[in-house]
Structure 1
Amino acid sequence: MRRAGTAEGAAGDRVAKWLARAGVASRRDAERMIAEGRVAVNGRRLADPAVLVEPGDTVTVDRVPIDPPGRARLWRYHKPKGLLVTARDPEGRPTIFEKLPDTMPRVVSVGRLDMGSEGLLLLTTDGGLARRLEHPENGWVRRYRVRIHGRPDPAAVASLAKGITVEGIRYGPIEAGLDAVKGEASWLTVSLREGKNREIRRVFEHLGLPVLRLIRVAYGPFQLGLLPRGGVEEVPAKVLREQLGQDAVRKPKA
């Protein structure tokens, strides 16, 4: 262990990056853990995130040893409605991480789905990979099946392709197509490339069409498919290499 200088990466990663790659938390959350005094290296509690973790160092969070990062791994998870996508909830509400199989390693989510939403959620052991998959520069389409109350005006729905501002928040282009109308409810397929918090719900509420059900069915090249509710399935390393390149699944040096 040593304090980071100008040669970061030559002998190790900054501790927050190391924790993110180990799947403990995002780098930002790891930095917060360090500030709270929850992280130690070789028994020494840290207050400074500018510390490099070197081969052979022992890292603990809340006195629990953390396994060093291995190669990046990715899973598809069918999130059920009613679960939070968070490591811990102060109100004690159920989270996805409490429902994952005991055989799963420590993982972080790629983005989030709110408690009332369901469908495809990607999970990874590598916080750096999570940030890469979340980044808008990917241009990846996130596709949803959305059930709304009411019958949408075709012109209003088509106008979403130009983006829309709701309560001072600007949302980017949204592609929406009507699939079916059943009584007072309608099913749409909705696609966007950069989802803000509760974006679909807020936009359709603004149009007077409250969302009754929201299911994510695709995130870029990864599909929900026939994965059962609550099911989790690892994406083969070969597929990761094909979609993201060899560097995405490399095993770190430290």
Structure 2
Amino acid sequence: MEVRLQKYLADCGIASRRKAEELIQAGKVSVNGVVVTELGTKIDDKLDSVFYNGNKVLNKEKPVYIMLHKPEGFVTTAKDQFDRPTVIDLIKGVNERVVPVGRLDYDTSGLLLLTNDGDLTYKLTHPKHQVKKVYLAKLFGTPDIGCINKFKWGVTVDGRKTEPAKLEVLEDLGKYSVCRITITEGRNRQVRKMCDAIKHPVATLKRVATGELELGDLPKGKFRILTEKEVKYLKSL
């Protein structure tokens, strides 16, 4: 069957479809011995031989869907140039090559999905799908109604206004407050930058939900395989 090269790479778990396009344009992918840099190139997934960085790409893995409770101090990549521990180090006993769906900052803990399903990764990370992400944050100080409304209307981060978000104060601890923050985007360090913008920096940050999937009581550093019902929900988004 003919499929687009970037979709084939995503289906094989090499990267998300968007990232696969970057790999192709960077000249890191070849088909039948010829480097391909043109997006939209189609291949026969049964007859053509595809190589990434000189290694043959095989599409033999069964789809795997994982929820990890990421601890602080881990990077959300397969490898790190500074040799810091990565979330992949925590996925023991899984033979399939999985990649993180989106990112969580080095200092942020909580719910992180990993899969080898490239289509699902694309769906969950593309801005147009606006998948809800919920965080528990310990902030310096207590946001007032003005700060809450700024989140509601959008906060300017890196010169661009965010999509409407939700900030709820759950507990006022004096020097700190505990807040629930809901966003629908996935910009780099977005929650931290939004909190900086309202003058209530983050002390600690934990993602507790993605869409309708909740972290629950999954221990920090542990993972579980998603249920059939959860996978079906994610694919319905």
Q: TM-score, normalised to structure 2's length?
A: 0.86
| Maintained 8 Å contact 1:148/1:210 | yes
Gaps spanning 5+ residues in structure 2: where? none
Cα deviation, 1:63-92, whole Å, max 9, x if unaligned, reads 434331555432111111111112333233
**1:1-254 alignment to 2 at 5 Å?**
11-42=1-32, 44-49=33-38, 50-68=41-59, 70=61, 72-245=63-236
State the number of aligned residues. 235
Q: Secondary structure at the match of 2:224?
A: strand
Q: Distance between the aligned counterparts of 1:110 and 1:239, measured in 2?
A: 15
- Matched AA of 2:36: A
Work out the percentage of aligned pairs sharing the same amino acid: 33
Runs ≥4 residues deviating over 6 A:
none
Q: Distance between the aligned counterparts of 1:189 and 1:196, measured in 2?
A: 18
Q: Distance between the aligned counterparts of 2:158 and 2:4, measured in 1?
A: 39
- Matched AA of 1:233: R
Q: TM-score, normalised to structure 1's length?
A: 0.81
Gaps spanning 5+ residues in structure 1: where? 1-10, 249-254
**Partner in structure 2 of residue 6 of structure 1:** none
Q: Pick the structure with greater CA Rg.
A: 1
Q: 1:99 to 1:242 in 2, by over 3 A?
A: closer
| Maintained 8 Å contact 2:68/2:112 | yes
Q: Distance between the aligned counterparts of 1:103 and 1:70, measured in 2?
A: 11
Report the more deviating stretch, 194-203 or 65-74.
65-74
| Maintained 8 Å contact 2:90/2:222 | no
| Maintained 8 Å contact 2:31/2:48 | yes
Q: Secondary structure at the match of 1:86?
A: coil
Residue 21 of structure 1: how far off its partner (Å): 1.0
Cα deviation, 1:141-195, whole Å, max 9, x if unaligned, reads 2110001111222332233211122452211212111111234111101111223
